[in-house]
Chain A
Amino acid sequence: MVLNLSGRYKLGTDVSCENFDGEYVVLNLATGHYFSVSRSGSTLLDGLVRGFDFAEMIETLAAARPAMRDEIGAFAAQIAGYAIVIPDLEASAQPLAADWIRAAHEASDPMLLEVFDDIADLITADPIHDTDEAAGWPIKKEA
């Protein structure tokens, strides 16, 4: 899959992610791959799943750091190739939000996706085991 400039996207079916200090950690539970996304990459990923216009986001990011324009193609191919994002045919385009524009202006690092597969066999073996709470473990009680 190649990301289309006019397309809308959402996180892949088996993908979870969390923002840690401005950088996303992404996990594909089906493949066991996990990913470290740079701050600028996290900004783009965040914008994609929020339904912002891809072309507009590229212009905004490139205005803050022109080299970004050259990096986005490879980054987009990676997040599509690893099924981190998939097409969302039901979403409609959303205007860029002020908080996103602010983050884009502050994202001056290279747009990078680091891929890790060192524990893929352990991750893919684990999560099926989701027994009902009467027989298994509930969420641990808060202290």
Chain B
Amino acid sequence: MSGCLAPYSVVIPAYNASATVGEAVASVLAQTVLPAEILVVDDGSTDETAALASQAHRLVRVIRQDNAGPGAATTRGMSESRYALIATLDADDVWLPHKMEQQLSLLSAQAATDGVFSNLELFGESSLSGSIQPGWLRSTMVIRRHVFDRIGPIIDPPGNRGDMVDWLARAREAGFRLELLAQVLVRRRVSTTSLSYGRDPLKDKGYLHIARQRILRSRAGKLPG
């Protein structure tokens, strides 16, 4: 069946990810349905991220840009990708081998579905390792190109947190149908420094910024329901 599935692009935004980008790319190359292209967007790294990625496989194309944030790097990769289906992956996460096959099968069977996500498992040196969570995140996402064409750039809020929250909220608001598969198809890395759960006032500003924008849009009658 996998031979009938549509070709897809993979976009991996990366910043100083030399310790993990090889593992991320390897997990893409281990898919039961290989991508047509892998775009690693090096967002101004000062380490060996670009070199390691470009040596990984002939499918990998590295795009370099000045540091602009994960949303901007993802946007750049999506803009330069060439296929009708786009999958994204953070440079420190990994896909499980049947991830794309399962998601592509769903998109093939359900023409009205615009994007598909999945549950994920946390891993790494953390007490949270092994936890299963809903993966409304970049690393689980596969979308049809028309979603990106319509919603536009992924905006990096202050603190660089919440870019996908904002973009996915905008996609839902626009009426796109996004589904979450119950299967665990991605492993998301949590480092020891993340045990604080990221309750960092400076970084959390991004979420507050998103909430503020939505409140203003609600008052202006621009949010559904």
User: Do A and B actually bind?
Assistant: yes
Closest Cβ neighbor of B68 among chain A residues: A140
Interface contact A131-B191, CB-CB below 8 Å: yes
Interface size on B, residues (CB 8 A): 56
Q: DSSP majority for the B interface?
A: mixed
Binds B, one of A79-87, A88-96, A117-125: A117-125
Report the bound CA distance from A141 to B44 in whole Å.
11
Interface contact B17-A25, CB-CB below 8 Å: no
Interface contact B207-A123, CB-CB below 8 Å: yes
Interface size on A, residues (CB 8 A): 36
Residues of B within 8 A of A139 (CB): 159-160, 202-203
Total inter-chain residue pairs, C-beta < 8 Å = 141
Residues of A within 8 A of B69 (CB): 137, 140
Q: DSSP majority for the A interface?
A: loop
Interface contact A132-B164, CB-CB below 8 Å: no
- Within 8 Å by CB of A16, from B194, B208, B214, lies B208
Proximity bits, B208-225, A CB within 8 Å = 1, else 0: 101110110010000101
Proximity bits, A102-143, B CB within 8 Å = 1, else 0: 000000000000101011011111111111111111111100
Residues on B lying within 8 angstroms of A by beta carbon are: 15-17, 19-20, 43, 67-70, 90, 92, 122, 128, 133-137, 156, 159-162, 164-165, 168-169, 172, 188-194, 196-205, 207-208, 210-212, 214-215, 218, 223, 225
